[in-house]
């Protein structure tokens, strides 16, 4: 069972930046997607961004499009989420997970992901 470990969260002021990392315990080269999700207190977990490999296709939630960038480094089994122009409403626990054999229409579907990490806290506040 692959394991994901997220890191990089913290406290940042509005307008600031953070880069989250998600390290997978194994390398998987076939068609798959790595997704980022977040959950704020009292809210349901929601989709943030995903990258499909090896197609290198990326998708984003409308709320983060233009501010967040998802990427990966295959040599390090690591997926990144670069978060710029952060807003207080971005405050949440951020999780990464993997989806095997995705298609475009399933990249945002949380139920299709497995192997969730423990999450990393992001707090945007002045």
pLDDT above 90 (res 75): no
Q: How far apart are CA 93 and CA 13, in angstroms?
A: 16
Cβ-based neighbour number of residue 82 at 10 Å:
15
Per residue in 76-105, pLDDT (tens digit) is: 889 999 999 999 999 999 999 999 999 989
What mean pLDDT do residues 24-40 have?
91
92 close to 122: Cβ distance less than 8 angstroms: yes
Q: What is the predicted pLDDT for the residue at 29?
A: 74
Token pair in block for residue 68: 């967040």
Q: What is the predicted pLDDT for the residue at 2?
A: 85
């Amino acid at each position: 069972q692959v394991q994901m470990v997220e890191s990089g969260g913290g406290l940042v002021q509005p307008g600031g930046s953070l880069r989250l990392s998600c390290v997978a315990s194994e390398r998987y080269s076939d068609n798959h997607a790595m997704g980022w999700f977040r959950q704020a207190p009292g809210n349901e977990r929601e989709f943030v961004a995903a990258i499909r490999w090896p197609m290198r296709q990326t998708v984003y939630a409308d709320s983060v499009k233009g501010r967040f960038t998802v990427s990966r480094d295959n040599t390090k089994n690591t997926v990144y989420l670069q978060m710029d122009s952060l807003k207080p409403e971005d405050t949440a626990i951020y999780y990464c997970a993997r989806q095997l054999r995705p298609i475009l229409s399933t990249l945002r579907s949380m139920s299709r992901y497995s192997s969730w990490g423990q999450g990393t806290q992001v707090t945007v506040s002045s």
